[in-house]
Structures are given as structure tokens and as C-alpha cells.
Structure 1
Amino acid sequence: MCVVVQGKVIRFDEVRGYGFVAPDTGGDDVFIHVNDLEFDKRHLAVGAVVDFAVEDGDRGLKASTVTLVAPAPALAAVAVGAAAPSAPAPTFLPPLPDLGSRPDGDAPSERELAAEVTEVLLAGVPSLTAEQVLATRGAFVAVARSHGWV
């Protein structure tokens, strides 16, 4: 059964052609692939709002029939067909978050931790496949859950 939802792109690597979208309804992030876009991938970036069908794929939730509702704020001013400026790829691992210094004093949610782990994996090991990112992130979040860190 496919359910159509709206969400915001939280990660998209145009070179590799995949990323993740956070559904507005909550729940797990959904894998998004360039082959499932109904529009030019140059219009997709972090912060873009999309409608998509959620499918249960072999490796978890997968977006299909993805349509653009609103471009990312940075791309909204870019002319159609023009290349968007891209940030240089990081050459180091970003610092790990200090889980004890959150303003509210609480541990991060599983969703927050999963998002941070995804960013660290993609920045630190750009050659990882989507399958590897999802598997590693899932294992890490499971360990964090078992220790009560989230």
C-alpha cells in the first residue's frame, strides 16, 4: 500500500543521486533517489518541500513519484536552469555532538540522533552507498537506544 505524504528534504547528494526526506507526519526518514523524481534534480536541495508516495522497499521506506511543492530557500532565487552554488566537500569529520550539553538537558531523540549520524557518515565517508548509510545508522541508533542515550 502506498501513502502520499509531504515532507522536507534533509539530505540530497546530487552527484550520487540519493538522499533522505523527513515526512511532515513524523516517523522515519525516507530514502529518496533521483530516478523517482518527477522534475529536474537540480531543483532539489536540502529544505525543499516535496510530495511523494511512501513505499516499503527492500531496505526500508522509499519515496517514489516525487513532485516538487516548494524549492529550497537557497534555490528559490536561482534562475531555472542555472546551476546552484555548492559547498565544498568537507575534508574532515565534523565534531561529534556533546550529548550532555543540550539546552534542555535531555538526550537527543532517535530522529535527531539518526539525522546527525547520517550527516557524519556522509561527510566522513563520502563513498558509502545508501544501503551502507542506512545499515550503519540503524545499528548505531539501536546501540544508543539499548544504552538509553536516546
Structure 2
Amino acid sequence: MATGTVVRFDEVRGYGFLAPDTGGEDVFVHVNDLREDKHLFRSGLRVEYTPEVGDRGLKASDVQLLEPVRTAAVRRQAPVVGGPDRPGSAESDEDLLCDVLSHTEFRNELTEALLDAAPSLTAAQLVQVRRRVLELVQAHNWIEA
């Protein structure tokens, strides 16, 4: 058995992707390979699965959740760093807060955004675009280490 994190799962289409804890390419998962109700699978949840080689690459079977499903994720807040367009702003500290995401949270949200914007992306294209964006984000320290 392997462990990982749900990157994305589309209940309507009946498939998604898992990020293995050992790293490497995301693993395809189909609704027929879930041991629990498909409505429970959301981005960021930890899972255990059996990796298999399918017709199109790695796929997960016998997938089960490792943790109870929480109703809401709590995000940390950090001040926005002022730039040349915001000198001497008189806004309150609350107006200057933004979400600070972990690498995994950002990766999950990026995956969702890419698939929403271009649902025809193949898994390989998605991984390639996401890898480059994550390199850029990390180079600028826009996410937590």
C-alpha cells in the first residue's frame, strides 16, 4: 500500500489524481477504485491506495481515506507586503491580510484552476504546467516552505 494526498477529484466525471508521498508524477484514480463514498474525496485529504500500472500509466486502486473528513480548512493569515503601488497606505491591517498557502494547498488550488480553465488538458500537460508555475512561485517565496 502507498499513501498520498488527493490533488483533485471530480465527482461528476468520476476521476481524479493523487500526489504520492514519495513524490513523482500524480496517480490517476477512478471512482470504481474508491472504498468509500465519492462525495467524501476532496483536495487535500490523505489516502492510502494500491498503485498499479494501467493502460495510460500509474493508477490507484483500493483507495481509502486515512483521516476523518473535516468540514472546513483553516488558513493562516499573513500581511501583504506593500509594493511601489501601495506606498504609505492608510488601510487597516485587516485589509492588508492575504492567505498564505502551503505547497500542497497551492498545488491543489492551482490544479483546480487549471482544470476549470482548460478541462481538455491531459494529465501530462497539467503536470508540466503546474511544475513550471510551482517553480516560479517557489523562486519568489510566495508560498510556505
Query: TM-score normalised by the shorter chain: which range applies?
Result: 0.5 to 0.7
Is 2:54 aligned against 1:65? no
Q: What is the CA distance between 1:75 and its match in structure 2?
A: 6.7
CA distance in 2 between counterparts of 1:54 and 1:22 reads 12
| Residues 9 and 49 in structure 1, CA contact (< 8 A), matched pair in contact too | yes
CA distance in 2 between counterparts of 1:47 and 1:118 reads 12
Counterpart residue number, 1:134: 123
State the AA in 1 paired with 2:123.
Answer: L
Q: What is the CA distance between 1:133 and its match in structure 2?
A: 2.1
Question: Residue 74 of structure 1 aligns to a residue in which SS?
Answer: coil
Question: Residue 27 of structure 1 aligns to a residue in which SS?
Answer: coil
Gaps of 5+ in 2: 74-103, 140-145
Counterpart residue number, 2:46: 49
Q: What is the CA distance between 1:7 and its match in structure 2?
A: 0.9
State the AA in 1 paired with 2:13.
Answer: R
Q: What is the CA distance between 1:37 and its match in structure 2?
A: 0.4
| Residues 45 and 69 in structure 2, CA contact (< 8 A), matched pair in contact too | yes
Gaps of 5+ in 1: 77-110
Question: Residue 66 of structure 2 aligns to a residue in which SS?
Answer: strand
Number of equivalenced pairs: 106
Aligned with 1:119 (options 104, 109, 112)? 112
Counterpart residue number, 2:83: none
Q: What is the CA distance between 1:122 and its match in structure 2?
A: 0.8
Output one character per residue of 1:31-88: Cα deviation in whole Å (capped at 9) or x when no partner.
1111100111111111221110111112111000111211443379xxxxxxxxxxxx
| CA RMSD across the alignment | 3.3
CA distance in 1 between counterparts of 2:108 and 2:44 reads 14
Q: What is the TM-score normalised by the length of structure 1? A: 0.55
Q: What is the CA distance between 1:139 and its match in structure 2?
A: 6.2
Q: Output aligned runs, 1:29-48, within 5 Å.
A: 29-48=26-45
Question: Residue 46 of structure 1 aligns to a residue in which SS?
Answer: coil
CA distance in 1 between counterparts of 2:39 and 2:130 reads 31
Q: Output aligned runs, 1:92-111, within 5 Å.
A: none
Question: Residue 73 of structure 1 aligns to a residue in which SS?
Answer: coil
Question: Residue 122 of structure 2 aligns to a residue in which SS?
Answer: helix
Q: What is the TM-score normalised by the length of structure 2? A: 0.57
Question: Residue 44 of structure 2 aligns to a residue in which SS?
Answer: coil
Residues 75 and 58 (structure 1 numbering): CA distance in 2 closer, same or farther, change over 3 Å? Answer: farther
